[in-house]
Structure 1
């Protein structure tokens, strides 16, 4: 069943007139009538009751009217998607981004690229660090953007991997300003309520390997909630549930607004690098273009 046939059937159903339906379909009435007859020959039944004015759908056709309309919409969408895909195929870039960078860095960078190169189409995949690298190695992503601890290498480092340092950030402790007195009371009791990350994710490794050991001799660490998502960790800190270590870039607006307090002066921090990673070798037009912009 062709899309144009579905639209012919709907035109007759909506106008109740072969003449008006022909005008809507930009055909002469005779040409339109021949096409309707061809559709009926193909289906093997009469679709319309022409003996009545206005023309009405036969019961079997009327019963399927909503399905005919749905199929027409789906075929239109499919056609549009295929055309769009053809236009963007040569300029498509699959970008795997660590969750926190998806929220803070990616929107600004994509806007900058597309302001200069409107045809570049991004397929953005947000994932944790290991998933970003898995997408890259399986060729499901052209580039990966991820944090690493300043001075350290990614575990993915190899001769066939190119890594570019594209920015600096810092993992900082934040807490709700409105609950600061409550936190001070807990700290006076040598307790620190905190938001934990699973040990297998990047920030969990940084927290457990680098940050928490610096405090364990002076206070008891009390995990209140565990989450793998930095955005969730930020919200939990804003609710006063516990101190959260989050990228400074993610918390900047809310600390500037006074909603959160940055506790870097009294609790440990960790400097981070923002890196872009790709597999060395031939690159698509979009990948080469974006890599050059990352260098700038």
Structure 2
């Protein structure tokens, strides 16, 4: 049983709204509803009376609410005590980051910021963007790196979370480079011979970014979806083996471009730029975190 289910249930009992509770937990409503159903399945009882409106608890739900408040409170207290025992290890910071940033950006960034981070030991949590945000919001990470685009922002309350812009990333279409130096495929492609399209899964942040590129492109792209994964590194490997075209972050393909293995499959009309941001919870007080943030704030613009 996931203890987050209890926290979800207590929030639902307080708000009486699946929609509002999902927003506060930074989840989609279907995902939040699945968590409540999972808790009900684990208990073997219905907690929500789904025959009434607004949302009300069943007798089993009323009983669990009282028990869960005590249990969640005790777990929170225990976590605080355990973390207090680790005060001597205060120079270790946990960084939650999307998989793509963990491969390329994070190693380079830590090297560039060596002076600022030299006394810090890092614990890296590689997630998708959603889970990285949850790790920060639930106190399981000290810092969170992610992409930001105005059309699909990561919505964290400014009164609680501070953010700095560390740089930018460009998503571009790439395909294998042929022996003559040209790209194997070129957008927009032709209807009679569509481009084999290596795509991101619907849960990937880059899936939304690619949709934006295709929606605002000057002409429709002739694409035939033939492969899907959430991982940019997985798509890059498929491109290198000649399976088709994929939209990849430019920083992830610099070596392959220099080696003549990959080529651009479209001009700037088929690209999109995002910010790379770092977030912290302003309420989280750790000497190492405070000192690091003060140094970073001198170098990078605040949001």
Would you call these one fold, judging by a TM-score over 0.5?
A: yes
Unaligned stretches of 5+ residues in structure 1: 1-84
- Is the 1:177–1:258 contact (alpha carbons within 8 Å) kept by the matching residues of 2? yes
Moved more, 178-187 or 286-295: 178-187
Compare CA radii of gyration and give the structure with the larger one. 1
Q: Distance in 1 between matches of 2:202 and 2:168?
A: 23
Q: Distance in 2 between matches of 1:267 and 1:163?
A: 29
Alpha-carbon spacing, 1:219–1:118, altered in 2? closer, same or farther (3 Å): closer
Alpha-carbon spacing, 1:181–1:206, altered in 2? closer, same or farther (3 Å): closer
| Secondary structure, aligned partner of 2:256 | helix
* Corresponding residue of 1:271: 273
The C-alpha deviation readout for 1:130-175, integer Å capped at 9, x for no partner, is 0100000111000000111267632234421112111011011111
Residue 262 of structure 1, CA deviation: 1.8
- Is the 2:175–2:246 contact (alpha carbons within 8 Å) kept by the matching residues of 1? yes
Alpha-carbon spacing, 1:192–1:235, altered in 2? closer, same or farther (3 Å): same
The C-alpha deviation readout for 1:109-137, integer Å capped at 9, x for no partner, is 22344555543110011111001000001
| Secondary structure, aligned partner of 1:159 | coil
Pick from 202, 226, 229 the counterpart of residue 228 of structure 2.
226
Q: Please tell me whether residue 165 in structure 1 is matched to residue 165 in structure 2.
A: yes
TM-score by length of 2: 0.62
- Is the 1:102–1:126 contact (alpha carbons within 8 Å) kept by the matching residues of 2? yes
Alpha-carbon spacing, 1:113–1:213, altered in 2? closer, same or farther (3 Å): closer
TM-score by length of 1: 0.64
Alpha-carbon spacing, 1:231–1:260, altered in 2? closer, same or farther (3 Å): same
Q: Distance in 2 between matches of 1:207 and 1:117?
A: 34
Pick from 175, 193, 196 the counterpart of residue 193 of structure 1.
196
Residue 182 of structure 1, CA deviation: 4.9
Q: Distance in 1 between matches of 2:214 and 2:238?
A: 19
Aligned length: 211
Q: Distance in 2 between matches of 1:206 and 1:114?
A: 31
Unaligned stretches of 5+ residues in structure 2: 1-84
Q: Please tell me whether residue 250 in structure 1 is matched to residue 230 in structure 2.
A: no
Residue 243 of structure 1, CA deviation: 1.1
The C-alpha deviation readout for 1:11-49, integer Å capped at 9, x for no partner, is xxxxxxxxxxxxxxxxxxxxxxxxxxxxxxxxxxxxxxx
CA RMSD, Structure 1 to Structure 2 (Å): 2.8
Residue 291 of structure 1, CA deviation: 2.0
- Is the 1:113–1:293 contact (alpha carbons within 8 Å) kept by the matching residues of 2? no
Moved more, 225-234 or 172-181: 172-181
